[in-house]
């Protein structure tokens, strides 16, 4: 009985090698997929906490050792700063992965589950394309520079500030309180005849670069958040992962067959205009169809099957507004 219901028009969602998937099976599959993505997101979120814990424990141990005796060298704090930089780099890489998984989870929450609760119970037309794009061609939603800036602002700015201030305090206090800034700079000297002024300049430059990186990322985040607030489709965490729109121009002599398959299989509108081949003088039909990049392969397959002699032009569109894409401004 269940198989017969699936075979009825409108009940079958997907079929493959004789297996039929109905709406209820589709919902079950999406629920299991959502659980898997949440688990993976939590895993990478815990890895972020692990890296931060390493940096905190290392800084605390170094502070205890450095100030436990006046004879303990100040270079320990420099090593802690270097280690914290390594941890920040590792955490930025982990945050890039976490951002990708979190983006998928948010797509499912806002476009699948949330739309079940509020009428008209219809997700956005391109949410499936956006999800497929991240599965077929996964890419990090933010750059490594932005990831470092985010993690530095949220956690590491305090660790680096504490480490630098502790290092300067060590130079001033031990082995006895310094009488001048020149004495502190002289104490900053380390092996291999590296003068204290160079060491202080390197630490100061590193701190300024990290602070500048944080400021740049904050400015970018504010602009991105403002764009999301202005855009009704701002539900998504990373607009850079939205499916890229394209425009297909098809010159064919089988307008009806091509249009029917595009409307039915791709669920995209088609506009037909009349044209004339200037070389042959023959009448041609020109079909215009806006669609997302993930649908290009399907469109090419349809064109090859229906009219192998058709002329197909695909161009990347900077912006498409209308039903199925961005709403009209």
Q: Once rounded to an integer, what is the mean pLDDT over residues 73-94?
A: 95
Residues 59, 192, single domain; the answer is yes
Q: Once rounded to an integer, what is the mean pLDDT over residues 116-122?
A: 74
Q: For the whole model, what pTM was predicted?
A: 0.72
Residue 102 has pLDDT above 60, yes or no: yes
Q: Once rounded to an integer, what is the mean pLDDT over residues 226-239?
A: 58
Residue 321 pLDDT: 56
pLDDT greater at residue 250 or residue 236: 250
Q: Is 280 exposed, middle or buried (0-12, 13-18, 19+ CB in 10 A)?
A: exposed
Residues 37, 88, single domain; the answer is yes
Q: Once rounded to an integer, what is the mean pLDDT over residues 251-268?
A: 85
Residues 164, 305, single domain; the answer is no
CATH code for position 312: 3.30.70.120
Please give the C-alpha separations between residue 270 and each of 129, 247, 287, 289, 291, in angstroms, as whole numbers: 18, 11, 6, 5, 10
Residues 226, 261, single domain; the answer is no
Residues 57, 156, single domain; the answer is yes
Residue 5 pLDDT: 45
Q: Once rounded to an integer, what is the mean pLDDT over residues 166-180?
A: 92
Residue 327 has pLDDT above 80, yes or no: no
Residues 152, 33, single domain; the answer is yes
Is residue 9 in some structural domain?
yes
Is residue 322 in some structural domain?
no
Residues 206, 269, single domain; the answer is no
**How far is the C-alpha of 138 from the C-alpha of 41, rounded, in Å?**
15
Q: What stretches of the chain show up as alpha helix (H) in DSSP?
A: 2-7, 23-66, 75-108, 114-117, 127-136, 144-151, 157-173, 181-187, 196-230, 255-261, 296-306
Q: Show the domain range for 265.
A: 244-316
Quick one: pLDDT band at residue 322, thresholds 50, 70, 90?
low
- The mean of the pLDDT values for the chain is 83
Is residue 327 in some structural domain?
no
Residue 6 has pLDDT above 60, yes or no: no
- Least confident segment among 45-49, 80-84, 198-202, 317-321: 317-321
Residues 109, 181, single domain; the answer is yes
Residue 181 pLDDT: 92
Residues 228, 278, single domain; the answer is no
Is residue 304 in some structural domain?
yes
- Least confident segment among 7-21, 176-190, 235-249: 7-21
Residues 257, 234, single domain; the answer is no
Phi/psi-derived region of residue 17, left when phi > 0, alpha when psi is between -120 and 50, beta in every other case:
left
What are 194-224's pLDDT values in tens digits? 899 999 999 999 999 999 999 999 998 888 7
Is residue 310 in some structural domain?
yes
Q: Once rounded to an integer, what is the mean pLDDT over residues 22-45?
A: 88
Q: Once rounded to an integer, what is the mean pLDDT over residues 5-21?
A: 57
What is the number of structural domains in the chain? 2
Closest to 126 measured CA to CA, from 271, 299, 325:
325
pLDDT greater at residue 19 or residue 232: 19
From 209, 239, 269, give the residue that closes a domain.
Answer: 239
Q: Once rounded to an integer, what is the mean pLDDT over residues 257-281?
A: 82
Residues 70, 159, single domain; the answer is yes
Residue 118 pLDDT: 75
Is residue 329 in some structural domain?
no
What are 152-169's pLDDT values in tens digits? 999 999 999 999 999 999
> Do residues 196 and 189 make contact, with C-beta atoms less than 8 angstroms apart?
yes
Biggest distance spanned by C-alpha atoms of the chain: 96
Residue 264 pLDDT: 83
């Amino acid at each position: 009985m269940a198989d017969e219901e699936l075979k009825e028009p409108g009940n079958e969602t997907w079929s493959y090698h004789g297996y039929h998937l109905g709406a209820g099976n589709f919902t079950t599959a999406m629920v299991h997929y959502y659980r898997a993505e949440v688990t993976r997101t939590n895993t990478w979120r815990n890895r972020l906490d692990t890296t931060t814990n390493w940096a905190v424990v290392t800084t605390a141990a170094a502070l205890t050792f450095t100030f436990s005796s006046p004879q303990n060298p100040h270079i320990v704090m420099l090593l802690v700063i270097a280690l914290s930089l390594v941890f920040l780099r590792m955490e930025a890489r982990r945050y890039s992965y976490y951002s990708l998984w979190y983006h998928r989870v948010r797509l499912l929450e806002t476009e699948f589950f949330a739309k079940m609760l509020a009428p008209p119970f219809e997700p956005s037309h391109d949410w499936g394309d956006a999800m497929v794009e991240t599965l077929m061609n996964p890419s990090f939603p933010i750059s490594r520079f932005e990831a470092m800036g985010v993690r530095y602002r949220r956690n590491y700015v305090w660790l680096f500030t504490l480490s630098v201030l502790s290092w300067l305090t060590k130079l001033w206090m031990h082995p006895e309180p310094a009488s001048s800034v020149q004495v502190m700079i002289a104490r900053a000297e380390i092996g291999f005849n590296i003068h204290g002024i160079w060491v202080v300049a390197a630490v100061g430059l590193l701190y300024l670069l990290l602070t500048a990186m944080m400021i740049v990322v904050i400015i970018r985040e504010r602009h991105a958040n403002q764009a999301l607030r202005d855009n009704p489709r701002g539900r998504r965490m990373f607009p850079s992962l939205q499916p890229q729109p394209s425009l297909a121009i098809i010159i064919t002599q089988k307008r009806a067959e091509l249009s029917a398959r595009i409307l039915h299989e791709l669920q995209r509108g088609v506009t037909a205009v009349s044209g004339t081949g200037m070389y042959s003088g023959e009448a041609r039909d020109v079909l215009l169809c806006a669609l997302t990049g993930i649908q290009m392969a399907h469109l090419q397959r349809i064109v090859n099957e229906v009219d192998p002699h058709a002329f197909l032009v695909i161009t990347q569109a900077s912006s498409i507004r209308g039903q199925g894409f961005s709403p009209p401004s």
